[in-house]
Amino acid sequence: MSTTPTSASTPAIETLRVELGERSYDIVVGAGLIAQAARWIVPVLKRPRVVVITDANVAPFYLPPLLASLRDADVQCDAITLPAGEQTKSFAQFESLCESVLELRVERSTTLIALGGGVIGDLVGYAAASILRGMPFVQVPTTLLSQVDSSVGGKTGINTRHGKNLVGAFCQPKLVLADTAALNSLDRRQLMAGYAEVVKYGLIDDPDFFEWLEANAQALIDGDMDKRRRAILTSCAAKARVVAEDELESGKRALLNLGHTFGHALEAETGYGGALLHGEAVSIGTAMAFDLSQRLGLCSGQDRGRVTAHFSAVGLPMDLRALDTAKWTADILLDHMSRDKKVEDGKLTFVLTRGIGAAFITRDIAANDVRALLDDWLASNSR
């Protein structure tokens, strides 16, 4: 895997490689890629036929230029537009999508293209792994969260009433095309939700990147394309390294779940609606992970304070006050956490930290310590 992005034909477009042997693929990052998507997509097609799947929010902006680029390259295109929102990652929508794709009389050589955020990418990837027992697919992520996280690494799936992403498959894309200009259509809240995942990479094992974010976050958020491209490439390179070492999440890849064990429990309790976006849950969950690490004597209060100060400075939530937690209890949240995919022998998997850039995986945390932390957070953040 190339850890240093290599320049493409123009300085504003850069490419890095996810090294997985025969299933290796490129991540292309730059502004204006969707309008010229055929340049990168056509070479990875088995035959010149695609089905583009998007959602109702993304379609008006990016479906026409994507289809125009592909049709100009003599690619046969069909398109399916799904409802927007986290509820689309469901059994019902998965069934509907599979039926819609099959109605188009696709073949195994037809490529599915996921045009949208993490919901579309996860759902389409799972459909690609399932329809005809496996179809190729391409990721064209249009949110910051999907560009730096969910589009890379092949984890696909849907939510159930028992928890987030509990049904799915590992299915690597043939290509990831991250158009940084697409971020201009995001509202600030969605952009910030993605930024939480960017920060995660610095906190795991790259303190220099976290320091760079502290200095450059505002420019990145305000639309500086060079800084956005650098943040996306650095994040993707970090994830690509981990995926190349541990594709099926049997070890080191679990580090990428910093903040997620807590965050997924918060999402589950809010019902995956608009009250709490995934990235917002990750930011709170990361603060909880640093809090627990400090309580256990693993990291300093200075590091914890630096992390929470940065999240707060850019406007990400650091408490639960915006949520209706009146009926929440520590045991309810622990029950959600016990359904996590990474539970082993009944033990929860946590990503904790010995400081900024020093995250580690552990299953040796006493339930009472976690319960005490949750009790304190619920008490201090009660409405």
Residues with a known catalytic role: 133, 155, 197, 239, 249, 253, 257, 260, 264, 278
Residue 290, H or E segment: helix 278-295
337/349 Cα distance (integer angstroms): 9
Contact (CB, 8 A) for 82 and 88: yes
What's the rounded Cα separation, in Å, for the pair 5 and 19? Answer: 13
Of the candidates 373, 274, 367, the residue with the CA atom closest to the CA atom of residue 324: 274
Instruction: Give a three-class secondary structure readout of 187-223.
Output: CHHHHHHHHHHHHHHHHHHCHHHHHHHHHHHHHHHHC
DSSP type of residue 150: I
Q: Which position has the token pair 């040796």?
A: 364
Cα separation, 301 vs 304, in Å, equals 5
Nearest to 25 by CA among 39, 44, 4, 50: 44
CA-nearest of 32, 221, 84, 201 to 144 is 221
Residues 6+ apart with CB under 8 A from 69: 34, 35, 36, 37, 38, 39
Strands 111-116 and 137-141: parallel
At 92, give phi and psi (nearest 5°). -65, -45
d(CA 139, CA 151): 6
Cβ density class 94-129: b for 16+ within 10 Å, e for less: beebeebbeeeebeeebbbbbbbbbbbbbbbbbbbb
* 137-141 β-sheet, strand order: 6-7, 13-18, 25-30, 175-179, 137-141, 111-116, 49-55, 76-82
Q: Give the three-state DSSP class for 293.
A: helix
